[in-house]
Structure 1
């Protein structure tokens, strides 16, 4: 993960209502192992954090100037330090106007992952940790709390520049600290919500279930393909990358790599060719299977409690919304 530029500023904002004090970094972070480890840990924590949203820039304006400053820097019109300084001054102003009490270390980092450039902006708090001195004495030190990131955004620079109609080149944490707290940071980024990650993931899983049913797969094949979908999607979530339908389709059926992709497009499910994976939704998508005395049962875990009810005491399943094909067979058999 080559780091092109990295700067850290500090906003000291106390809860007693006193004005914020901005301490500007006078230079970029020096290239060393500590800097690289910091960004590696940050990315791992950011990717693992639930509750993200995806969006795109508002049109550049006085209310949303960050995209213009970023564009100027990328075009060579300013240095990264100048860009970050202008941006953090604006962030401090918005923090004051919102009357929010939490400051922190403002991290700006431009790095490359694979063939793609990203910009990360985050407000990171400090926490205390206990360490051991060379004399084997315990000592309390302050460290950046990368385990509890509350305000952060990541901009896919390549996607923004090469696909300006995209609705998902910015990801940001929605968090649980309140709407006002989240919105001032989203306003600072100049981001509007575009893609509904959980909704897109649910639609993908619905399309997959329909595809499995249309292919009339045996249980073992259905389980294998479900595992392929979930494992691939979870791996993408872990590295902070989107699900690519074309790539997923090839993994699901290597002999017919376009079959699932063509099925989705033919049925017009309305999902994008790339979509952000939602881990919470994926975790619910597992299959329960079982065979006994000529009976075979297989269904996705997310149907439990919805279309399928389990009575543990009686050892029975109640099914709703039976497939039309099965219903017709049952009607013919009972007539």
Structure 2
């Protein structure tokens, strides 16, 4: 993860109603192992965070100027430090206008991962930690709390440049800290929501369930393909990368790599070619299976409470929306 540029400023905003004050860093962070470790941890924690949303820039305007400043920086008309100063000043003003009490350290980092370039902007709080001195005495120090990032956004610069029509080249945290706080930071980025990550992931899982049913797969094969889908999607989420339908299709069926992809397109689920994985939705997608006395039952966990109800006291399952093939067999057997 080569870091091209990184800057840290500080915004002091107290809850007593006093104005927000911006303290500028003297220069870019110099190249060091500490800098690279910090930015790597920031990236890892951002990837691991749940509750993200994806979107794209509003048209540049006085209300949403960040994309214009970023374009000038990428065109070489603005160095990174001055870009960060201008952006941090704008963030401070928005914080003041919103009457929000959350200050913090404003981190700006331009880095590369593989062939893709990113810009991450995060507002990070301080926390206390205990360390040991060389004299074996305990010392309380302040550190950046990267484990609890509340406000952050990441812009896929390569995607923005090469595919400006995309609606998912920006991701940002959409946590539980309150809508007002989320909205003010999203306005600072100048981002509008484009892709519904949880919704797209749910649609993908629905398409997969339909695909498994249509293929009439043996239980072991269905379980293997489910594991492949979840493992791949989780790995992409960990990397901060999207699920690519074509790649996923090839992993699900190596002998017929276009089979699942063609099924999705034929049924017109409306899925994007690449979609952001939602880990919370994926975590719920696993199969319950059981065999006993000539009976075999298998279903995805997300159906529990919807099409399938479990009565723990009575030890029974109630099924709704039976597969057509099974329904026809039952009708013939009862006639």
Shorter-chain TM range is: over 0.9
* CA displacement at 1:132 relative to structure 2: 0.6
Distance 1:176 1:275 in 2: 23
* CA displacement at 1:128 relative to structure 2: 0.4
Distance 2:208 2:94 in 1: 44
Which residue does 1:132 correspond to in 2?
A: 132
* CA displacement at 1:314 relative to structure 2: 2.2
What secondary structure sits across from 2:67 in the alignment?
Answer: helix
Which residue does 1:213 correspond to in 2?
A: 213
Which residue does 1:245 correspond to in 2?
A: 245
**Which moved further from structure 2: 287-296 or 188-197?**
287-296
Per-residue CA deviations over 1:23-81 (Å, capped at 9, x if unaligned) read 11121101001001101111111111111100000000111000000000001001000
Which residue does 2:61 correspond to in 1?
A: 61
Which residue does 1:41 correspond to in 2?
A: 41
What secondary structure sits across from 2:214 in the alignment?
Answer: helix
Q: Structure 2 matches for 1:119-158, cutoff 5 A?
A: 119-158=119-158
Distance 1:28 1:193 in 2: 31
What secondary structure sits across from 2:121 in the alignment?
Answer: strand
CA RMSD, 1 decimal: 0.7
Aligned residues: 335
Per-residue CA deviations over 1:208-250 (Å, capped at 9, x if unaligned) read 0010011110000000000000000011111111101011000
Distance 2:313 2:192 in 1: 49
| 2:106 matches 1:106 | yes
Distance 1:308 1:239 in 2: 34
TM-score (norm 1): 0.99
Q: Which runs of 4+ in 1 moved over 3 A?
A: none
**Which moved further from structure 2: 287-296 or 324-333?**
287-296
Q: Structure 2 matches for 1:19-38, cutoff 5 A?
A: 19-38=19-38
* CA displacement at 1:312 relative to structure 2: 2.0
What secondary structure sits across from 2:29 in the alignment?
Answer: coil
Structure 2 unaligned spans of 5+: none
| 2:182 matches 1:167 | no
TM-score (norm 2): 0.99
Which residue does 1:270 correspond to in 2?
A: 270
Structure 1 unaligned spans of 5+: none
Distance 1:320 1:288 in 2: 16
Distance 2:83 2:328 in 1: 66
Which residue does 1:333 correspond to in 2?
A: 333
Distance 1:316 1:186 in 2: 47
| 2:179 matches 1:179 | yes
Per-residue CA deviations over 1:152-174 (Å, capped at 9, x if unaligned) read 00000011011111110000011
Distance 1:21 1:317 in 2: 61
